[in-house]
Homo-oligomer: A and B are copies of this chain.
Amino acid sequence: MAMPPLRLLQHIRTHCPPPSSPMLLRVRKPSFARSSVEGFISLMAKYTTGGSGSPKLLFRQLFEKDSSTYTYLLADVGHPDKPALLVDPVDKTVERDLTFVKELGLKLIYAMNTHVHADHVTGTALIKGMVPGVQSVISKASNARADLFVEHGDKIHFGNLFLEVRATPGHTLGCVTYVTGDGSDQPQPRMAFTGDALLIHGCGRTDFQGGSSDQLYNSVHSQIFTLPKDTLLYPAHDYKGFTVTTVEEELSHNPRLTKDKETFKNIMENLKLAYPKMIDVAVPANMVCGFQDAIKKPSEALAS
């Protein structure tokens, strides 16, 4: 299902805006050259040094009904540039998101994913096509294509605020959780964008995309449950209309992850879930940054 390199190159040439930085240009290479973390941090310097104004977080949770996906908008509106990022944008709601970003006078710099989603197509490619200079971000471990790759411990700066990257594999092998910074000038309580690693009173399935119930248990317990108890946890989805939870709430009420590891593994191995209906469409698209006509159409996928 992977796209042949030549076809991918054609898509990149068709869809990408004119290069606004050497980083973007590198993504255009058919060799899939990827930016290093060093380059990433260096590029961010213009936002992290010399900025006037105290950091002030603008935060919005946005919902896409069909896939019950949450997209998160964060910006430092205390910074003159009002640099902003989107976590887990969805293709169907890109126009809404970008209209909103424009209305608020924000400068969108990153379109980030917590992982390679299997239930919707990321809005990353559309955003890059519509807003020159935006860079896509995903974990190095995902093996997906993006402008910038992050690893455990990296910091993603936007203005005088930052997100910390925590590797939380288990739903997929490349899942990360983005956590707002720890410090007196960073938002309190902290906020964590958990993707599908931890859902509200639940968690993502572990039977596809390099998933592992053993690994997910370790990830959540070591990287999310160790955050301060009042940390606000924002997942990539909720199907019942919940919008947020906390570490304290999940430590007490998560019906799966409050169990011991063997019980958890047993639960996850006996969920008997249906084959994910969007996986054959979404994963190939999301592996290449969400270029939608680089993938099978739904009818083709269903026929395969």
Interface positions of A (Cβ within 8 A of B) = 60-65, 93, 96, 100, 103-104, 240-244, 249, 253
Contacts and interface: CB of A to CB of B under 8 A. Distances in A.
B60 A96 contact: no
A60 B244 CA distance: 7
A242 B62 contact: yes
A48 to B, nearest CB: 25
A241 B60 contact: no
B241 A64 contact: yes
Given A96-B240, A241-B93, A243-B243, A249 B62 contact: no
Given A60-B243, A93-B241, 13 more contacts: A60-B242, A60-B244, A62-B242, A62-B243, A63-B241, A65-B65, A96-B240, A96-B241, A100-B242, A103-B253, A104-B249, A104-B253, A243-B243
A65 B244 CA distance: 16
A211 B247 CA distance: 44
Nearest to A61: B243
A20 B62 CA distance: 41
Contacts of A249: 104
Nearest to A249: B104
A105 to B, nearest CB: 9
Contacts of A61: 243-244
A58 B65 CA distance: 26
A239 to B, nearest CB: 9
Nearest to A244: B60
Nearest to A103: B253
A254 to B, nearest CB: 11
Nearest to A230: B56
Q: 7 tightest CB-CB pairs across the interface, nearest first?
A: A63-B241, A61-B243, A62-B241, A103-B253, A96-B240, A64-B241, A93-B241
Contacts of A240: 96
A194 B225 CA distance: 35
Contacts of A103: 253
23 contacts: A60-B242, A60-B243, A60-B244, A61-B243, A61-B244, A62-B241, A62-B242, A62-B243, A63-B63, A63-B241, A63-B242, A63-B243, A64-B241, A65-B65, A65-B241, A93-B241, A96-B240, A96-B241, A100-B242, A103-B253, A104-B249, A104-B253, A243-B243
